[in-house]
Amino acid sequence: MSMCHVLLSCALIAVPAVARAQQSQPAKAPLTLAELEQLALESNPTVRAAQSAIDAARGRARQAGSWPNPIVGYTAEELTARSLDPRGEQGFFVEQTIPLGGKLRLGRAVFERVADEAEARADLQQRRIVSSVRTLFYQLLTAERRIEVHERLAALGSDATGVTAQLFNVGAADRPDFLESEIETRRVQLELTGARNQIFALRQQLAAVVGRPDIASRSIAGSIDTAIPELERDATVQALVDRSPQMRAARAAIARAQAVTALVRRQTSPNLFLRGGAAYNRERGEDTRQPIGWEGQVEAGISIPLFNRNQGGVAAARAEETGAQAELTRLELSLRAHAAAEFAAYLTALRSAEAFRADILPRAEQAYTLYLARYREMAAAYPQVLVAQRTLFEMAREYLEHLEAAWRSALRLQEFLAGDGLDAPGFGSEAVQLSARTDRE
């Protein structure tokens, strides 16, 4: 088998990552994609942040539905500075405000909708994490394969340099050919160094998304040549609109805005005030000449929306509801546009990878094989061999780039264009502001 066959096999056949496990950690098995996803969902801090937003919303829902605390107090009337004054009365009272119009129920409903929105955002965050882990996983597999291509090319370059040196020594090759071979070998070695540096960076990024810096040195088990999912354009876009967490969160935001509108409309509904108590009257009766004793008292009142009917609050709530509706429409249009662009990139990369694997790479290998054989027979100049070698290497590298791009786009579409796994959930302060505003209203 020729060395060019070795290079082509490197570009087309998966090499298990198990064979590349670091010798410094022989006892640790390579991490699979499923294990990395599970670790990320357990350790990524944004998962806890998203869950905290759900818990906070549920806590505010319980608080919003709580009754106002009663007031218990002491009363005294007709007191004088004389300690033996036979007159006056002393007692206690209990006062309770009773919200009417279903305000407690409506206030609780607002934060129940906030909790729904937080749950959608938590789902979105999990999809972000899974998408990022999968993308970095396949990027790392591609980078490892790219290193192998560089190593095989470096071996080819060294072999070609040796052949050129032998021909130069016997006068069958020119010195420029020898210099060109040395330059090419050095260039490949520099690119190999860059590929190894990229491996280090990708491992650190994957460990960061997983939330476990200690796994940066662990090898991974997988193949870049696993069949890429075949996606259908219309079904993928429709699923993105129907089932994406972004759309679910936007719909929950509309429901929250509607709940706020219903609440502020009822904010001016009368509240009932009840007050009752008892006082001991020390004044003596005219007939008995004994203290009158304990006397009960009851008071009741109701608030009247005379000066404040919360017109501004209602107008603001309706405006926010309109804005939430507009945001849903904007998000749908944006997702459709981004999905169309991502699908175009996916389809282009997928078809390109197939073309490189089935047609372009074999032809580049054949051309390099022929030029190398003719050069050994001194029937071709070394620059022709060099051009064919560079072409074969570039085709192998482009194949890997298309393969990586196809995986990246497919994963992004399958995870509803969720975003990066280390992005903040982007939820929490809105609920706090809403809680403060609802309390004021």
Asked if residue 341 is part of any domain, the answer here is yes
315 vs 150, residue with greater confidence: 315
Ranges 58-67, 189-198, 211-220: which has the least confidence: 189-198
295 bridge partner residues: 279
275 bridge partner residues: 95, 299
Residue 19: predicted pLDDT: 39
Asked if residue 279 is part of any domain, the answer here is no
Tell me the average pLDDT across 177-202. Answer: 81
Asked if residue 409 is part of any domain, the answer here is yes
Provide the residue type at 296 as one letter. G
pTM: 0.77
* Residue 51, CB-side half-sphere exposure with 13 Å CA sphere: 9
CB 99 within 8 A of CB 68: yes
CATH number at residue 425: 1.20.1600.10
Asked if residue 92 is part of any domain, the answer here is no
Asked if residue 402 is part of any domain, the answer here is yes
Asked if residue 49 is part of any domain, the answer here is yes
Q: What is the mean pLDDT of the chain?
A: 83
Q: pLDDT (tens digit, 9 = 90+) per residue, 236-274?
A: 999 988 889 999 999 999 999 999 999 999 988 889 999
When divided into structural domains, the chain yields a total of 1
CB 216 within 8 A of CB 207: yes
Asked if residue 207 is part of any domain, the answer here is yes
Ranges 276-280, 286-290, 343-347: which has the least confidence: 286-290
Asked if residue 93 is part of any domain, the answer here is no
Burial class (CB in 10 A: 0-12, 13-18, 19+), 129: buried
- Domain containing 162 equals 3-66+100-269+305-440
